[in-house]
Structure formats: C-alpha cells, structure tokens
Structure 1
C-alpha cells in the first residue's frame, strides 16, 4: 500500500512541474507519471506518457508565454485536487486566462496515473472566438434567467 506521505510528495512535485514547465523541461514529468497515465481536459482525452507530452508540445505551439500558478492542493483520502490559474497569450484571444481544478489519481507506486482537468471551456474559451462565440453567447442568453 502506498503511504499517504508518498502521494503528498508526488503531488507537490507534480504541482511544481506545472509551475516550472518549459518546452525543454516537459520530459521532467517522467518520474512523476505512470506509463499509461490518462489525461483529460476540455480539448484532449489521451492515454500514455508520450501523448501526455504531446499535449504540452501542442500548448507551446498554440500559445505564447503559458504559465500555471498552482493556488492550492486539497485532499480527499488518496485523491488530490489541484486548483490553478493558467494564463497565456493567444493569437485570436490576446491575453487569456482561466481558473481550473485538476483531479489527480495515483497508482500503487505513488505516480500520477490520471489527470482530469475541469474548467469552463464555453465561458472562458469558446465564447471569445469569432462567429462560434456569438452563437454560444446567444444560446447562453436564451438559457439564462
């Protein structure tokens, strides 16, 4: 059985990875994640270490100056929740940011085996896009009280 202290140490290192990641340091996550890690965010649903890394490489292709600020870690048993702010510059959106939450699961070796991001892509991304954003804003206004 994995010690809770091991999980907490991995979670802290994992949070630090996000705060310090650069294109040259993406592979630093290898020691923290399992070979078959499952990653889900509003744009991706991938499995495996190589695909996890591709998500980061794609991020660096799509945006400039991406930055994660980890606000806190919270625990429910062996499940870690990581609350964060993400900011970047994006060609279509300009300066852009979002607050989100990540659900982090660990395997028996205290490695991250699942990373599930939760953030409102409609409000914080799609509504800001030309054409699509206008349609989403209209639909949202029709559904609101």
Structure 2
C-alpha cells in the first residue's frame, strides 16, 4: 500500500466520522492550499475547506457520509459516496456522488472535486425554483 492509498483510506474514514468537533482532524490529510469544489463552493486553503464543513453543520441536521468505494486511475483516487441529512426546506434528503482526489508530493490531498447532480437532487426540490427547473427539464426531455 502506498502513502496515497493510506491517505485516501484515512480521508474516507474522516468523512464517515466527521463531527463539528472533529473537522480539524482533516489537517493531517490535506495540503495547506487544498482546492475544494462542489456544486455550491469553489475554495482554496485549509481554512476555507473547514468553513465548508462548518456551513454544512449550520445548514443541515444529522449529515452523514457513507463511503461506498475507493477506485484508482493512475494517480487519481475516486471516492463514491452517499450523503444524507435533514434540511429545513427539503426534509430528509440524500444524494449519491463521486469525489475526484488529487495528491501532492507528500501524499496529502491537494484537490477534492465533488460531482453530483445538484439540479435533480437539490434545486428541483426547492419551492418555486424547483417548479421552474422541472418545467425546463420537461421541455428538454424526450
């Protein structure tokens, strides 16, 4: 097992066990200038990365990540996951996604790019916006 394998496994465990009190435990696994992108954020740096988690805990209750798979393609690791939570407007909510992980020379995560369908799994569920997106999708589909 390489250092990157170890980091990827520890990173997956971090997501499955993260709590507001444990967010800073990710420091040992990420670079100072880690780049994080998801459908809502595009931030650089440890502090900004941590702010994404703190914001998540402000916005939702009982957020849970279940890591389903880790798969490698050369130097990239892909992490497939399910996320569930309770949110004021949406109630119980969940999404399946994929994360692309890049590593620096010290085997720390230097980029974390999340891929999931925010239109289908989030925006369509919102009042007013959801109706518009459903209408647009119905016009575009066969």
User: After TM superposition, is the score higher than 0.5?
Assistant: yes
Deviation (angstroms), 1:78: 1.1
The Cα offsets for residues 50-83 of structure 1, whole Å up to 9 and x where unpaired, read as 0000000000000000000000100001100000
* Aligned equivalent of 1:81, options 78, 83, 105: 78
1:121 and 2:118 matched: yes
Equivalent residue number for residue 96 of structure 2:
99
1:66 and 2:85 matched: no
Equivalent positions of 1:1-145 (< 5 A) are 5-145=2-142
Q: Which runs of 4+ in 1 moved over 6 A?
A: none
Distance 1:18 1:78 in 2: 21
The number of residue pairs the alignment matches comes to 142
Provide structure 1 residue ranges, at least 5 long, that are not aligned to the other structure: none
The Cα offsets for residues 14-51 of structure 1, whole Å up to 9 and x where unpaired, read as 00000000000000000000000000000000000000
Q: SS state of the match for residue 109, structure 1?
A: coil
Distance 2:46 2:114 in 1: 17
TM-score, normalised to structure 2, is 0.99
Provide structure 2 residue ranges, at least 5 long, that are not aligned to the other structure: none
Distance 1:99 1:21 in 2: 18
